[in-house]
Amino acid sequence: MTQELLHEIGDQETRRIQGILEALLLCSAEPLTLATLSEITGCQSGAVLEALDRLQQDYYEQGRGFAICEIAGGWMFATFPQHAPYIEKLVKPRISSLSQASLEVLSIIAYRQPVTRGEMEEIRGVNCDSSVNTLLDRGLIREAGRKDVPGKPLMFATTTDFLKYFGLTSIRDLPEIESGELADLASDSTLGAAETEDADAEPNEQLDSGVEGNPAL
């Protein structure tokens, strides 16, 4: 068998895997791990990664409006930040914005998790109940057990949805900050003293992952 024929057979197999991967990613609203993709396709992880890489290259060369991104420990389709204004017009009724206070509480949880309400309030200097409840309702944080101290307060941590919103593979991908920077959140003059302003009725900012996630999410 000639080298040319072997190469052609290899290309055909890669294209076959590419088609399967596209179908799987298109049908999934959650990131699919390499292990899952390998198991379903029956291919070695190296072959799956090669097919994903070729798909990415194809999309880039064709100037497509989406890409395959590694997010939250898996792979999924995502759109680009420059297309966000158009996507927001389509899915605006389903997109919920967060107030500045909620974003600050989310930042504290992301960098200090697992963290209690009391620890959040010590950093911010105001009550965080409303923000915590909002973030729980949005599925961006979760209860993460109880701290082994008197009263055993609940602790909170971020979720997979948090990673998807911000286009992160894992929490380790968060930008590094200095230890004192989180405390600066509490000194922001726009916060005011009352958490009641955090009703999210007049949101200040939209979550932006840098790579927009699947609008169906």
Q: Is the pTM of this model over 0.95?
A: no
pLDDT band for 196, please (50, 70, 90 cuts).
very low
156-188 exposure pattern, b = at least 16 Cβ within 10 A, e = fewer: bbbbbbbbbbbbbeeeeeeeeeeeeebeebbee
β-pairing verdict for 154-158 and 141-146: antiparallel
Quote the percentage of the chain above a pLDDT of 70.
Answer: 74
Using the predicted structure, report yes or no on whether residue 178 has a pLDDT greater than 80.
no
Say which residue the tokens 């996630």 belong to.
Answer: 213
Cβ–Cβ < 8 Å for 131, 115: no
Going by pLDDT thresholds of 50, 70 and 90, the confidence category of residue 216 is very low
Contact 101, 90 (CB under 8 A): no
d(CA 142, CA 158): 6
What pLDDT was estimated at residue 14? 80
Tens digit of each residue's pLDDT (9 = 90 or more) over 138-172: 889 999 999 988 889 999 999 988 888 887 888 88
Q: Are 160 and 139 in contact (CB under 8 A)?
A: no
What is the length of the chain? 217
pLDDT tens-digit profile of 87-125? 877 765 444 577 888 889 999 999 999 999 999 998 888
Distances (CA, A) of 165 to 110, 127, 147: 13, 25, 27
Q: Rounded to whole angstroms, what are the CA distances from 147 to 1, 43, 94, 116, 131?
A: 66, 43, 35, 8, 20
Which domains does the chain show, CATH number per domain? 3-82 (1.10.10.10), 96-197 (1.10.10.10)
Mean of pLDDT over the chain: 77
| Residue 157 phi, psi (nearest 5) | -145, 165
Q: Are 21 and 56 in contact (CB under 8 A)?
A: no
